[in-house]
Every structure is written in C-alpha cells, then in structure tokens.
Structure 1
Amino acid sequence: MVPPMSDPQASRGDADRLAGEFVQFAIESDVLRFGRFQTKAGRLSPYFFNAGLFDDGAKMLRLAQFYARALLTSGIEFDVIFGPAYKGIPLGAVLAVELARLGVNKPFAYNRKEAKDHGEGGTLVGAPLAGRVLIVDDVMSAGTAVRQSIALIRAAGATPHAVAIALDRQEKATEDGRDVPWSAVDYVRDRLGLQVCSIAKLAHLLQYLQRTDEFSQHYEAVAAYRAQYGVD
C-alpha cells in the first residue's frame, strides 16, 4: 500500500480538494440532489445522496478513482476488499480494478444475502477473507450494514479493519427511535475500533454550496439541518 504522506497538513489539503471535487461530481451526476427527502430515521432532509445513480461506465470509473485517491491519501492499509450486498458489490469491484491500475493489487470478495445451496454454496463469493479487511459502501446511516459485514468477516476468521464510504453525513444516529450524540461513523470508529475513510463529508458539501452561486440557495436549508441533527 502507498504509505501515508509525511506532511499532515499536505495530506489534509489533498483530502479537502478531493472532497470538493467529489461533491461537484456527485451534484453534476444527479447523485446528490436537493429538495425534501425522508431519511430512514424519519427526518426530512434537504439533500439526498443515492450512489445507485452512478449508473454508467464513465461515472463508475470516476467514482472508483475518487475512492482510490481517498484511500491512498488516508494511508489506511488492508489486505482484502469486501463489498457487502448489494450496493457495496460494484463499489468494491471497481475500487479493486482502479487500485490494480495504480499498482496496488488487492483480492476482492462480496456476499450474497441468500445462501447458495448448490455449486460452491455459502454466502461469500470471490477471494478468501483473510487478514485485514476493508469494507466498501456508499454511506453509513445507522451502521447496521457494517455490523453485519463485521460478523461475516469475523466468522470467516479475518479481521474487520476499515471502512471506506463515499459520503459521511456527519449526522446523529438513532437508537430505539431516539437521537444519540454520535454518528454511525463515530460508532464504527470509536466503539467498534475500525478506521473510517470517507471521500467527502457534509462539511464539504456546505463549503461547496457557500461558494457556488448556482447552488447557494440550498446552503441555509442544509446548514439548518446540520445545526439540528449534525455532529462534529
């Protein structure tokens, strides 16, 4: 794996530039939309991120480049890429291809939601899960998918080590229908002990909206949402 950058400020600057580019790409691809959207927690959000709308080869290629650049900038090391069903499967696959193009060839695995009772059987497909495993997904809302992935990885005898996501909403999670003062990312990092790499955060979206005339009308609504539900 490419080692982390020696200058933390340079690394932070590269990550922030990458995040700004990604926000612009997501908006231009109509993956990041503005309006009124109900979240899984029942909140009315002024924006919505749907990675399923990265829906052609050119968009998936650029998305893979963003994931790879974010990971290499973070310095996170890992042995295997795991894409949880369903959205994580294409994300993990294109990331593995892009990393290989950059000279970092890693094995890739994914799971089925329904166990196969013929052929090779089981729920895991691809490379054996071994060593430090990187989980790749789009966003973390409640951390449920990550916890399921962690259980699969541990059952296979490997170590859940890190998570890579496209967007960190920096938003309070809910437990038993109540808001809690930490996000799903905080939970995975601080309570489950996994490293987390996100291409962009809600803070980067706010910065983009503030400096871009075309979308500045959405800034106040997104800022108000973060003030109500956000975490640092």
Structure 2
Amino acid sequence: MSTESDYKSNLLGHLISSSVLSFGSYTLKSGRESPYFFTTTLLHTAPLLHATASACASVLSAAPFAAAHPDGNGVKKPNFDILFGPAYKGIPLCTAVMNELGVRDAGRGDWSNVSYSFNRKEAKAHGEGGSIVGAPLRGKRVVIIDDVITAGTALREAVGIIEKEGGVVVGVLVLLDRQERVSETESKSAVGVAQSSLGGNVPVRAVLGLSDIIEKLGAEIGEENLKRLKEYRARYGAEE
C-alpha cells in the first residue's frame, strides 16, 4: 500500500498533467478570485482514474474508515458496508474505488463484504425499479464518496436518500477540501460544516486539501503560483 506522501504526490502529479488541477485566475461561484481550479469532469482516462481510485482506497483502508489495528489474523476490517456514489460524479468514483479495493484485497477477503451503490436521478418504474443501483442500503453502514463539497446541498440530498432506504451514514470521503471559509459569516470550510451537520461521530475526510497542494508541489508550480496560493489561504483559510 502506498504511503500517505506517495499517494498524495502521485495523485497531484496526475491531476496537474491532465489539467484537472490548474493554476491561474478563476472566478468561483462565491465571487472569490481563486488562483487554482479543480474540475473533476476531466477524470476520464485510465491512468488518471486509477491514480484517483488508488488514493481514495488508501484513505478508506485506514482509520477511521477501517480498523486502526489488525485483528488476530492481521486483517484491518472496514468499518462500513457500502460505498455510495451520489449521481452523477460519485458514480464512477465509487465503482473505480471498489475495483481498487478488490485488487488490493488479493483474495484475503478483507473487503469481500463491502459493496457499492449509487442513486438514479429519477426512479425507474420498470424492470427492477427504484432509485438505487447496486447493493441494498437497508440496515447497512454507508460511506458517501464524491468529488467536492461546496454548499453541502448534494451531501444533504445523498444523506436523505440513504436514510430513506434504511441505511446509516457512517462517513464521507471527498477528493478535495479547499480548506477555505464557506462565507464571510461562516469560519468553517464546507467540509467542516458538513462534519458539524452530520455530528461529531461521523467522520468527513478529504483525499487532498489546499495545504497538500502548497506543501507537496511547492516550487514545482512556480514561485508566483505558490505565492498566490499562500496569499489566498491567508485571506480565506478556514478554521480547523
């Protein structure tokens, strides 16, 4: 399994080379002028999707999503039953990550009881019917996986879907935490707000944060870009 430094550095390299992560001047929905932009619509090549799935699997294979210590057989059991990808961007993420977890399992059975599910935007009235594709959620511990959290609307919708189906949300994993205040009146980041809304016992984690971009890329992105990232963090950085 890759170390934390390895998977983050490896993923960042892929994100930059594919322009999923780019640097310049971008106006966000909030009206802020951001020195970087993250667009997951470009996560569609095999190498890029593999690097993304590998990084996500590394996070899911460690606490709090999996047992902090191996059991008597050396197995670190997962603390969830279902990986749920909200339509639409969460769908390829949950399927790719489940495939990566299966490859890493290598027949040991650590992850044999973990499944994936995702929702349809509109319920299907024929065939198997319903709005859920994949494993049933009733009575299951569910981790939501998505690209980013902005206003939290999509997350609340996903939680509502899972609870309606009888599942219990036990964690959230997103690709990027911008680590900036949601607004001038809210000192927490979108991830921090999500953590508060779900309660202290439901972990919300990000694969990457703005701090990783600054610390792991450094001068690789150019002194001017690095300077602007640090200035942006100083101006809009969220409380932990």
Question: Do they fold alike, i.e. is TM over 0.5?
Answer: yes
Q: Which has the higher contact order (CA 8 A, sep 6+)?
A: 1
Distance in 1 (CA, whole Å) between partners of 2:219 and 2:59 is 23
Q: CA deviation at 1:116?
A: 1.9
Distance in 1 (CA, whole Å) between partners of 2:47 and 2:9 is 19
Any stretches of 5+ residues in structure 2 without a counterpart?
66-78, 106-110
Q: Which of the pair is proportionally richer in helix?
A: 1
What residue in structure 1 maps to residue 145 of structure 2?
136
- Is contact 1:209–1:218 with CA below 8 Å preserved after alignment? no
What residue in structure 2 maps to residue 146 of structure 1?
155
Number of aligned residues: 217
The correspondence of residues 99-114 of structure 1 with structure 2, limited to 5 A, is 99-103=101-105, 104-105=111-112, 106-114=114-122
Q: CA deviation at 1:95?
A: 0.6
Distance in 2 (CA, whole Å) between partners of 1:149 and 1:117 is 21
* Correspondence for 1:55 among 27, 33, 44: 44
Any stretches of 5+ residues in structure 1 without a counterpart?
3-12
Distance in 1 (CA, whole Å) between partners of 2:5 and 2:174 is 15
Give the residue type in structure 2 aligned to 1:115: A
Q: Aligned with 2:122: secondary structure?
A: strand
What residue in structure 1 maps to residue 230 of structure 2?
223
Give the residue type in structure 2 aligned to 1:79: D
Q: CA deviation at 1:89?
A: 0.3
Tell me the alpha carbon deviations over residues 185-206 of structure 1, each in whole angstroms, 9 at most, x when there is no partner.
1122233122122211110111
Tell me the alpha carbon deviations over residues 152-195 of structure 1, each in whole angstroms, 9 at most, x when there is no partner.
11111110111111111101114xxx541111111222331221
1:21 maps to 2:10: yes
Kindly report structure 1 stretches of 4+ aligned residues shifted beyond 3 Å: none
- Is contact 1:110–1:125 with CA below 8 Å preserved after alignment? yes
Give the residue type in structure 2 aligned to 1:88: G
Q: CA deviation at 1:135?
A: 0.5
Of 91-100 and 109-118, the range deviating more from structure 2: 109-118
Tell me the alpha carbon deviations over residues 119-170 of structure 1, each in whole angstroms, 9 at most, x when there is no partner.
2222211110142101010111122111111111111111011111111110
Distance in 1 (CA, whole Å) between partners of 2:235 and 2:6 is 27
Distance in 2 (CA, whole Å) between partners of 1:35 and 1:211 is 15
What residue in structure 1 maps to residue 188 of structure 2?
182
* Correspondence for 1:167 among 159, 164, 176: 176
